[in-house]
Amino acid sequence: ELWDYKPRRKPAVAPPLEPSSIERISGTVENIVYRSEDTGYTVCAIKLDTEKKDSLSTVVGACPAIWIGETLTAEGQWIHHKQHGHQFQAKKLTCIPPTSARGIERYLASGMIRGVGKVTAERIVKAFGDDTLNVIEKESKRLQEVSGIGAAKRRLIKASWDENKGVRDIMIFLQSHGIGTAQS
């Protein structure tokens, strides 16, 4: 009937996780599907460290800062979302800058550093390998050894690196003291 009222069901709210149901996973961030800069809510695809094949797993949760190529450690539980399928619902996310040359290259090419795109990231990593992030952080003048990077571009890269690192450190510090991403 037209007037037959059926109340809508309340949206399912995930119950608090019990300590015994909390799992920990770790992997490399391959793609950021969605990210709210206001709340830090993130949906990303990661390649789990435990997986031998190239399959990706979806992880959702709040994180102060996250970039492609980083290692992500998440605590939470696997759920089956009605619309989006199998995913890991994280209560805590921790990101660690990459250590492998491939990870560093993807990290730099992700757009986080002004002046560094895919080609420049490839050249920098080819020159410095696994030590690339240390070179940018502590010996940035050496970036001028890389073809296509002059003094002005080196300064831009270093300034962008310092800015991102400063913001990231502050966000992580505030989140560790109970202040959410939106508030910080």
Q: Tell me which of 172 and 44 has the higher pLDDT.
A: 44
φ and ψ at residue 82, rounded to 5 degrees: -55, -40
- What is the rounded distance in angstroms from the CA atom of residue 45 to the CA atom of residue 81? 15
* pLDDT tens, position by position, 33-82: 999 877 889 999 999 988 777 789 999 998 878 888 888 999 999 999 89
Least confident among 44-58, 133-147, 170-184? 170-184
Mean pLDDT of 129-145: 93
pTM of the predicted model, to two decimals? 0.66
* pLDDT tens, position by position, 120-133: 999 999 999 999 99
Please give the mean pLDDT across all residues of the chain. 82
* pLDDT tens, position by position, 74-112: 999 999 989 989 999 999 888 888 888 888 898 888 888
Structure tokens at 115: 């002046």
**DSSP secondary structure of 111-178:** IISTT--HHHHHHHHHHHGGGHHHHHHH-GGGGGGSTT--HHHHHHHHHHHHHHHHHHHHHHHHHHTT
Q: What is the dihedral of CA 132, 136, 141, 144, to 10 degrees?
A: 60
Partners of 100 in the β-ladder: none
Q: Which residues of 84-118 are buried (b: 16+ CB within 10 A; e: fewer)?
A: eeebbbbeebbbeebeeeebbbbbbbbebbebbee
| Closest to 23 measured CA to CA, from 85, 80, 91 | 91
Residue 12 has pLDDT above 50, yes or no: no
